[in-house]
Structure 1
Amino acid sequence: MSRPDTDIMRRWLKLYLVMGSVNTETPEQVLRQAIAGGITMFQFREKGVGALTGTACVQLARRLQEICAEHGIPFIVNDDLELALELNADGVHVGQDDEAASVIRRRLGPDKIVGVSAHSLEEARQAIADGADYLGVGPVYPTISKPDAEAVRGTTVIEQLRTAGLDIPVVGIGGIHASNAAPVIAAGADGVAVISAIAGAPDSRAAAAELAGMVTR
């Protein structure tokens, strides 16, 4: 899978699942169910208390990557360039405290996806200048999945980006679920990224399907 054009990137961002072993005891099962429910992109994020390291982390990442490949779902690695290179992942997502997108782009090459978390118009402009393909903007709502999350922004930053004329693909993230996803799309986001709304749901397939229905209207 190669680096997409902007229109394809927007479609892939519609429903973006972010997950690792710390978010569920059955990541492979959850991913398969989420794909069946309609997710369009996946990010392997192995962080937090009890996160896998070393060979165990690589093995899980590879298994999840294979599931994504079976279904044509882009497989993105969160903040681990070396792992992404080892797996030949479709791309990398980095935060403001991680390696600069320009460095990631240089190491990954021109054909991979680079996503960047942005919490302000200034950070968004810098990410675009550094070669980002899309922005993850948030946290939109309060979230329990990331204890180190920035202050809640609501949809304000998404609206600011669009008002400023920034046309880069944008995915909203942070505390999003089916009942509050609509305002994120209305603000100008191309899609939503979720963790617990799917990984923590009793029925991952149903949760994904409900979210997919909200973001593709």
Structure 2
Amino acid sequence: MTTLPRFYPIFDHVDWLERLVPLGIKLVQLRIKDTPEVEVRAQLKAGRDICFEHGAILVVNDYWKTAIDLGCDWVHLGQEDLDTADLETIRAAGLKLGLSTHDEAELDRALSCKPDYIALGPVYPTILKKMKWHQQGIEKLTQWKDHAPNTPLVAIGGMSVERAPGAFNAKADCVAAVTDITLNPDPEARVREWLEICG
């Protein structure tokens, strides 16, 4: 079974990686939306190099072909991405795979792909994007982990330093954070808090 670092920040621009990965982040995702593909590629290449320099894992959201071209190690796909992604090609390239799940049908579909982790969200209400799923609650983390005990489980959505212990107690292996860092008045200090509580 893949072992993940317990802290998993997700950022929408490589500038965040340049700023925060050197603090000790060991697992990070670049989730770039509404950006020309040439710029996406440049950001992913820069993110790859930053993570390599600091011994961190870069997870590329969605752009699996570019991830393969750039020699990245991980890709994360949403359920919609699964409709068009070539999983055989992704696996043949040696990439590890993370998948989003929101309900039991999606969980079953994800597990059939033998992912290296599954993410459940939103655990709490999130302001990041409009979703048809309301908060799942930490109890669902326990249900997911009991259903798939050998697959690492990531809690995402409305997560904060204060909420992380509850997610770990509910059997999450890893906690993802977005706005708790990016909207914080001192992102560096917040990352240090995350690293301490997830250490």
In the superposition, the TM-score normalised over structure 2's length comes to 0.89
User: Who is 1:109 aligned against?
Assistant: 91
Match 1:120 to one of 94, 103, 110: 103
Q: Secondary structure at the match of 1:178?
A: coil
Number of equivalences: 198
User: Who is 1:74 aligned against?
Assistant: 57
- Does the 8 Å CA contact 2:4/2:152 hold for their aligned counterparts? no
Q: CA deviation at 1:93?
A: 0.7
Match 1:183 to one of 166, 169, 177: 166
Larger RCO: 1 or 2 (CA < 8 Å, sep 6+)? 1
Q: Which moved more, 1:174-183 or 1:74-83?
A: 74-83
* Cα deviations by residue, 1:125-160 (Å, 9 ceiling, x for unpaired): 321221211001110111111233632101122110
Aligned partner letter, 2:24: G
RMSD: 2.0
- The runs of 5 or more residues in structure 2 that have no matched partner are none
In structure 2, C-alpha distance between the alignment counterparts of 1:56 and 1:149, rounded to whole Å: 30
Aligned partner letter, 2:4: R
Q: CA deviation at 1:33?
A: 3.7
User: Who is 1:34 aligned against?
Assistant: 20
In structure 1, C-alpha distance between the alignment counterparts of 2:26 and 2:86, rounded to whole Å: 23
Q: CA deviation at 1:188?
A: 0.4
Alignment of 1:143-182 (within 5 A): 143-148=126-131, 150-164=133-147, 166-182=149-165
- Does the 8 Å CA contact 2:67/2:75 hold for their aligned counterparts? yes
In structure 2, C-alpha distance between the alignment counterparts of 1:144 and 1:37, rounded to whole Å: 26
Identity percentage over the alignment? 28
Alignment of 1:172-211 (within 5 A): 172-211=155-194
- The runs of 5 or more residues in structure 1 that have no matched partner are 1-5, 22-26
CA 1:171–1:90: 2 relative to 1, 3 Å: same
Q: CA deviation at 1:86?
A: 2.1
- Does the 8 Å CA contact 1:84/1:92 hold for their aligned counterparts? yes
Alignment of 1:14-93 (within 5 A): 14-21=6-13, 27-28=14-15, 30-47=16-33, 51-93=34-76
Structure 1 residue 11 corresponds to structure 2 residue 9:
no
Q: CA deviation at 1:174?
A: 0.4
CA 1:122–1:46: 2 relative to 1, 3 Å: same
Q: CA deviation at 1:52?
A: 1.8
CA 1:86–1:72: 2 relative to 1, 3 Å: same
Aligned partner letter, 1:11: L
Aligned partner letter, 2:109: Q
CA 1:54–1:72: 2 relative to 1, 3 Å: same
- Does the 8 Å CA contact 1:139/1:175 hold for their aligned counterparts? yes
- Does the 8 Å CA contact 1:142/1:175 hold for their aligned counterparts? yes
- Does the 8 Å CA contact 1:20/1:44 hold for their aligned counterparts? yes
In structure 2, C-alpha distance between the alignment counterparts of 1:94 and 1:122, rounded to whole Å: 16
Q: Which moved more, 1:88-97 or 1:147-156?
A: 147-156
